């Protein structure tokens, strides 16, 4: 005679396995998309920086320079506002274009900093990002309340950066760099926990879930890029 308790146990185990697999598929999709975006950005920046013709075309101070500077911000707002009305393919294409244009604007990094410095900071960023992502994915502490605090701190950081653009204070620049690193470390942990919570409830393979994963990848992409830029300011200050 079948043991009903054993059958119930087996059903619970199967459900947990299916839930874990669903989470793994979703998070893998998020991280693959984020990684592809970072790869497009890095290769584009390296290629444009190494081409005198492209550097002159996009970074010489003309109208294209201004387009390259402000287009990424416009594309982020466009994608966030229109994601529900776009197809997943269109949204993915927009994300790829955003990563490409971002790469053009980041080409100046290869002109200002030695490749050794960029490589060092990239690996520091990857390690830091990975550690904070692990915290977000494994901690039992609810980080949801931390999100609003971090975003308010981010607004304050932007205001401080604008003010220091006119003040040109080295001390303030150091403080801004440290604050930026801390804020984006916190946002990395927060975003990963939020995505984990979404993954546990998302229906796998649907258009809506794919779009949510894409926006999650965009958030993590922005966390990584900004963490890299602030660490570059912090560690590469002597090289500029």
Structure confidence by residue, pLDDT tens digits, 110-129: 888 999 999 999 999 999 99
DSSP assigned state of 203: P
What is the total count of domains within the chain?
1
Q: Model pTM?
A: 0.88
Q: What is the pLDDT of residues 3-61, one digit of tens each?
A: 555 655 555 555 555 567 888 999 999 999 999 999 999 999 999 999 999 888 888 87
Residues of the domain holding 127: 4-239
Query: 57-98 pLDDT, tens per residue?
Result: 888 877 888 888 888 889 999 998 999 899 999 999 999 999
């Amino acid at each position: 005679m079948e043991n009903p308790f054993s059958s119930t146990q087996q059903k619970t185990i199967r459900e947990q396995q299916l839930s874990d697999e669903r989470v793994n598929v979703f998070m893998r999709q998020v991280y693959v998309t984020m990684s592809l975006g970072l790869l497009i950005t890095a290769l584009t920046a390296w290629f444009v920086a190494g081409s005198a013709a492209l550097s002159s075309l996009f970074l010489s101070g003309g109208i294209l320079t201004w387009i390259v500077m402000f287009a990424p911000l416009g594309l982020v707002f466009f994608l966030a506002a229109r994601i529900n009305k776009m197809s997943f393919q269109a949204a993915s294409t927009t994300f790829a274009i955003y990563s490409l244009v971002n790469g053009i604007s980041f080409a100046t990094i290869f002109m200002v900093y030695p490749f050794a410095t960029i490589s060092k900071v990239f690996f520091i960023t990857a390690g830091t990002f990975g550690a904070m992502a692990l915290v977000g994915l494994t901690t039992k502490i609810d980080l949801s309340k931390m999100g609003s605090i971090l975003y308010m701190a981010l607004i304050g950081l932007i205001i401080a950066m604008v003010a220091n653009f006119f003040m040109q204070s080295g001390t303030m620049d150091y403080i801004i760099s440290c604050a930026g690193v801390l804020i984006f470390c916190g946002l990395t942990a927060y975003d990963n926990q939020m995505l984990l919570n979404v993954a546990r409830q998302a229906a796998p393979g649907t258009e809506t879930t794919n779009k949510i994963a894409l926006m999650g990848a965009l958030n993590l992409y922005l966390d990584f890029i900004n963490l890299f830029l602030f660490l570059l300011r912090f560690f590469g200050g002597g090289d500029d």
